[in-house]
């Protein structure tokens, strides 16, 4: 497996692959791999001839009071893990490579998708994501790009951007990977103390509660949100950010669940702000 740090070398590698008629898959990540990342890479290896995993903690998508400086990093460990699932290249550019002096262009996706959930809690976050993903698509020119469904809103932002800007890449969402007790895999789980780690299981439990309610015939979005909030608030270490339901994949406000709906939750446990979601089907 290669570790490439410059855009010029990355372009060179991809142009060789293309000359040999090989399809290219991209797995954009911020590193510190867990089984969720590895599931993205495995899917990419199944579907593409050559797989590039980008590893870049993108400063543009962090707010001033967020965890950019603390974000966990271990390139050596990540390289071993990526290699073990068959990744061909890790693209790990520096900040100067990605955002050289004078950089002054961003990509922003409209409010219908970004004006709610994490877009509201983290102003500027999705502009940072859309900008860096556009750059990665332009550099790697993948046939397919793989994103985790844990960031359901991010997947919709990227799909909207790809459609609106006629980007020639297929977006492949990959299901959430969970720990045995239901906690969704996240690089941020390393911030949790043992007590907070235990408390964080309340997120998935609250989603399961909602699913049971829908199975029993409950269709009232506000009532489901109320029950989910109550469940999360019953955990003293949880500091609730949001619990919301929208139509899926349109992300329109709904009162009643009639088709597919996204139930998304976010809460802080100490330093870790965690998100999770489930698609409820009436
Ligand atoms: O999901 C992530 O890890 C990041 O938002 C992404 C897509 C790699 C962009 O920095």
Q: What is the pLDDT of residues 179-208, one digit of tens each?
A: 999 999 999 999 999 999 999 999 999 999
Q: Is 28 in the pocket of ligand 1 (CB under 6 A)?
A: yes
Kindly list the catalytic residues. 37
**What is the domain partition of the chain in residue ranges?**
2-174, 187-281
Query: Residue 212 C-alpha to ligand 1 middle, in angstroms?
Result: 31
Q: Is 29 in the pocket of ligand 1 (CB under 6 A)?
A: yes
Instruction: Pick out the chain residues at pLDDT < 70.
Output: none
**Ligand 1 atom at minimal distance to the Cα of residue 151:** 1
Atom 2 of ligand 1, residue of closest alpha carbon: 29
User: Which residue(s) pair with 121 in the sheet?
Assistant: none
Query: Residue 133 C-alpha to ligand 1 middle, in angstroms?
Result: 8
Dump strand ranges (E) for the chain: 2-4, 24-29, 50-55, 89-91, 144-148, 170-174, 239-247, 260-269, 272-281
Select the CATH number that applies to the domain covering 2-174 from these four: 3.40.50.620, 3.40.309.10, 3.30.9.10, 3.90.1580.10: 3.40.50.620
The CATH number of 187-281 is: 3.30.1300.10
pLDDT at 211: 98
Residue 154 to residue 58: CA distance in whole angstroms: 14
Model confidence pLDDT, tens digit, residues 117-170: 999 999 999 999 999 999 999 999 999 999 999 999 999 999 999 999 999 999
Q: Is 53 in the pocket of ligand 1 (CB under 6 A)?
A: no
Cα–Cα distances in angstroms (integers) from residue 17 to residues 39, 51, 165, 173, 188, in the given order: 23, 10, 25, 24, 34
Report the residue count for the chain: 282
């Amino acid at each position: 497996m290669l570790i490439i740090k410059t855009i010029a070398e990355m372009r060179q590698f991809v142009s060789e692959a293309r000359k040999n008629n090989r399809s290219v898959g991209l797995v954009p990540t911020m590193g510190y791999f867990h089984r969720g990342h590895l599931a993205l890479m495995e899917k990419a290896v199944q579907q593409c001839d050559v797989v590039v995993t980008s590893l870049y903690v993108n400063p543009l998508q962090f707010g001033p009071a967020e965890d950019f400086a603390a974000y966990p990093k271990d390139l050596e460990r990540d390289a071993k893990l990526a290699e073990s699932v068959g990744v061909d290249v890790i693209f790990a550019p520096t900040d100067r490579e990605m955002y050289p002096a004078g950089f002054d262009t961003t990509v922003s996706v409209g409010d219908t998708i970004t004006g709610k959930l994490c877009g509201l809690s983290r102003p500027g976050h999705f502009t940072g994501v859309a900008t860096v993903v556009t750059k990665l698509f332009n550099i790697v020119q993948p046939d397919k790009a793989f994103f985790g469904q844990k960031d359901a809103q991010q997947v919709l932002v990227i799909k909207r951007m790809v459609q609106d800007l006629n980007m020639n890449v297929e977006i492949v969402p990959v299901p959430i990977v969970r720990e045995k007790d239901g906690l969704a895999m996240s690089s941020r789980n390393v911030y949790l103390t043992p007590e907070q780690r235990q408390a964080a299981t309340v997120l998935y439990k609250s989603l399961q509660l909602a699913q049971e309610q829908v199975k029993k015939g409950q269709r009232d979005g506000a009532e489901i949100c109320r029950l989910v909030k109550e469940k999360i608030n019953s955990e003293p270490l949880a500091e609730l950010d949001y619990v919301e339901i929208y139509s899926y994949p349109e992300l329109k406000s709904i009162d009643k669940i009639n088709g597919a709906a996204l139930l998304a939750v976010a809460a802080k446990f100490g330093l870790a702000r965690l998100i999770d979601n489930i698609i409820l089907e009436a």
